[in-house]
Amino acid sequence: MASAYMGRAIPATDHLHPMAQPAQRQRKRGAMTRRMAMLLSFLALALMPAPSWAAGVLRYAGRFYAGGGELDLVRYSDGKTKIGILGINRNRERLSVAFASDEWHSFVDLWNKARHTPSAAWQTIGTFKEAGTDDARLLSVATGPGVQFTIVGKKGSFTFVLSPRDYAAFDLAVKRMAVWFAH
């Protein structure tokens, strides 16, 4: 079946298909916008204990996905203070660990050692413990079939395994964070 459009015959499927695509894109864009807004809102509430942080800005340096989970590298700045955040999102719950400017090198050292220490079985590379908070979280980094990041806090323990295929992208995000901290 065809319809006439300005003197041309257009098959019915071609006639309806262009109208369906914008609606699908709009739904996808709306869902993505809602997820992003929820995530940023949650990050703002969950990661920032001090009221003065409300005036700051959060920016993603890297996002990585595997096994239904998400690993994020996030930058926070309020113009005076810079904080690096490593967060794990699992089943709509999030746990993160924060690094002050003078602590970021600790994470870089853990990451570099983990990616350069190949291992068939999991072996712990090292840990980092937050300071200056009532919910001081512990980050543990292990190497094995990937690099395993585990964050332990009052909510429990969240783990994310970064695949070797993501090492280059993750390394680039870590280096961008280091440059950001340096300036």
Q: Is the pLDDT of residue 170 over 80?
A: yes
The string of pLDDT tens digits covering residues 95-104 is 999 999 999 9
pLDDT over 70 percentage in the chain: 70
Q: With respect to residue 100, please indicate whether it lies within any of the assigned structural domains.
A: yes
Pairing of strands 8-11, 123-129: unpaired
Q: Indicate the number of domains in the chain.
A: 1
Q: What is the CATH number of the domain that holds 142?
A: 3.30.2450
Q: With respect to residue 15, please indicate whether it lies within any of the assigned structural domains.
A: no
pLDDT value of position 12: 41
Q: With respect to residue 23, please indicate whether it lies within any of the assigned structural domains.
A: no
Query: What order do you get walking across the sheet with 138-143 strand by strand?
Result: 123-129, 138-143, 147-153, 156-162
* pTM of the full structure: 0.70
pLDDT class of 27 with cuts at 50, 70, 90: low
What SS3 string covers the chain?
A: CEEEECCEEEEHHHHHHHHHHHHHHHHHHHHHHHHHHHHHHHHHHHHCCCHHHHHCEEEEEEEEEECCEEEEEEEEECCCCEEEEEEEEECCEEEEEEEECCCHHHHHHHHHHHHCCCCCCCEEEEEEECCCCCCCCEEEEEECCCEEEEEEECCEEEEEEECHHHHHHHHHHHHHHHHHHHC
Take residue 121 and report the two structure tokens written for it.
């079985």
C-alpha R_g of the chain: 22
Take residue 84 and report the two structure tokens written for it.
């690096």
Q: With respect to residue 28, please indicate whether it lies within any of the assigned structural domains.
A: no
Q: Is the pLDDT of residue 37 over 70?
A: no
Q: With respect to residue 73, please indicate whether it lies within any of the assigned structural domains.
A: yes
Q: With respect to residue 27, please indicate whether it lies within any of the assigned structural domains.
A: no
Q: With respect to residue 86, please indicate whether it lies within any of the assigned structural domains.
A: yes
Tell me the residue range of the domain where 120 lies: 48-182
Q: With respect to residue 26, please indicate whether it lies within any of the assigned structural domains.
A: no
pLDDT value of position 53: 47
